[in-house]
Amino acid sequence: MKRLKNKNAFAIMEVIIGTILLGIGLGTVTSIATRSLSSQSKAEYQLTASWLADGILSQVLVDGPINFQELQSNEGNFEEPFEKFRYEINFIETDKYQPWEVTVRVLWDGPRNQSQFVEIETLILERLGEKDLLERLQEEGWIVPRAPLFPINRIERYFQDESDDSEG
């Protein structure tokens, strides 16, 4: 009888130890899975914010820093489906006719309402060859307007070239 009790006690001890080890293993797996999902969510937000910041910088590049500031707001919220994100743009003119320092920061509220952000900083040169810039350069004396010394009659020159071809 005593041996039977010892075997039962030993079996109960094995079950208790096995349950404890199983609980520790499941707790570890659950903890790793939770951290993995959290990291994936954070990476997804960072990737989306980087993509949105790149889109704003592309628009600054297309419009030019001066025109962008006249046409767009330097801060605001993105439209749906990116309404969780907001942006701030900072322009610094370094020197006349030198690239502008442009900084775009895309922000969002992370876990426990902690503000998180992605910031991209680059240099963008004002668009050259635009009418506004040419006028500004002319006003400041950097460019002298070019004009022919004598008026050009293009129609006469065209027909004169045709008559020269038919004679030859």
Per-residue pLDDT of the chain (168 residues; tens, 9 = 90+): 556 566 667 778 888 888 888 888 888 888 887 787 777 888 899 999 999 999 999 999 888 888 889 888 999 999 889 999 999 999 998 877 788 999 999 999 987 888 899 999 999 987 665 566 667 777 777 666 666 667 777 777 667 666 666 665
- Output the six-digit token pair for 69: 């500031």
b vs e for 113-152, b when ≥16 Cβ sit within 10 Å of the residue's Cβ? eeeebbeeeeebebeeeeeebeeeeeeeeeeeeeeeeeee
Q: 116 forms bridges with which residues in the sheet?
A: 108
Which pLDDT belongs to residue 120?
95
Which pLDDT belongs to residue 129?
59
Which pLDDT belongs to residue 123?
93
Which pLDDT belongs to residue 90?
95
Which pLDDT belongs to residue 39?
78
b vs e for 58-86, b when ≥16 Cβ sit within 10 Å of the residue's Cβ? eebeebbbbbbeeeeeeeeebeeebeebb
Decide: residue 56, CB within 10 A, 0-12 exposed, 13-18 middle, 19+ buried: buried
